[in-house]
Chain A
Amino acid sequence: MSSLSSCLLLSALLFSIGLAGALVRRNAILVLIGIELMLNAANLNFIAFWRFGPNPEALTGVLFTVFSIGVAAAEAAVGLALIISLYRHVKTTNLDQVDSMRG
């Protein structure tokens, strides 16, 4: 039954889960995980539109995904480095506590 709409639905679901996690969970690492999930959802969209799009020969979607993976990896590296750096200063990864410590 796989079709564009189901792919997009899955993508939307993943995105929402990621978003919900990023917003609800207060742990910085979990927030990052949520963001990763959202990026993955975007990747899925690229692939889905490539697969079901007008000209799949062009491979644009595939290459976009490759680049997106690269960007996501870079994002994860920097994000986690930030979290580690943050942790080193405030000894917590809980964003609420980080907030309160800053305030």
Chain B
Amino acid sequence: MHSVDLDIYRPIAILMIAAVGFAISPLAMAWLWSKKFSPRKPGPVKNATYECGLASQGDAWIQFRAEYYLYAIVFLIFDVEAIFLLPFAVAFSGLTLGAAIAMLVFILLLAEGLVWAWQKRVLVWV
């Protein structure tokens, strides 16, 4: 069912494959170099986690504060808003004032969420 439409993605696919190749080929070269000339020598100290010259104590994978999450929520909401704004923006020049106002209301709704979060001191990093 190759419709004409799909052709446009082909170069992108090739670009992506090439990009992966671009990243992997030097790594492969480096690997070959290490095989041929400069052997890798892992060791318990060398491959230990770096922590300012000391032996690392405790795990790094710990539970973080919830503050990060609040920002992520606000971001998610506005990211979704962008999804609605984009088609609107494309169609904007052909739209009536009423449609624009409809979008303004939409934006204001979300802005209200922002203002609420602002006033609730959600956007305060502790």
Interface residues of A (CB under 8 A from B): 1-3, 66, 69-70, 73-74, 76-77, 80-81, 84, 88
Contact = CB atoms under 8 A, between A and B. Distances in A.
Interface stretch (B15-23, B28-36, B54-62, B75-83): B75-83
A76 B66 contact: no
Contacts of A1: 1
The 6 A-B residue pairs with the shortest CB-CB distance, nearest first, are: A73-B80, A70-B80, A77-B73, A77-B76, A73-B76, A2-B1
A58 to B, nearest CB: 15
Given A66-B83, A84-B69, A73 B1 contact: no
B84 interface: yes
A11 B83 CA distance: 23
17 contacts: A1-B1, A2-B1, A3-B1, A66-B87, A69-B80, A69-B83, A70-B80, A70-B83, A73-B76, A73-B79, A74-B77, A74-B80, A76-B76, A77-B73, A77-B76, A77-B77, A84-B66
Interface string B35-70: 000000000000000000000000000000010010
Interface in B100-121: none
Nearest to A78: B73
Contacts of B1: 1-3
A31 B104 CA distance: 37
B9 to A, nearest CB: 14
Contact of B84 (A2, A70, A80): A70
Contacts of B77: 73-74, 77
A74 B87 CA distance: 20
B107 to A, nearest CB: 14
Nearest to B74: A77
Contacts of B83: 66, 69-70
Contacts of B73: 77, 81
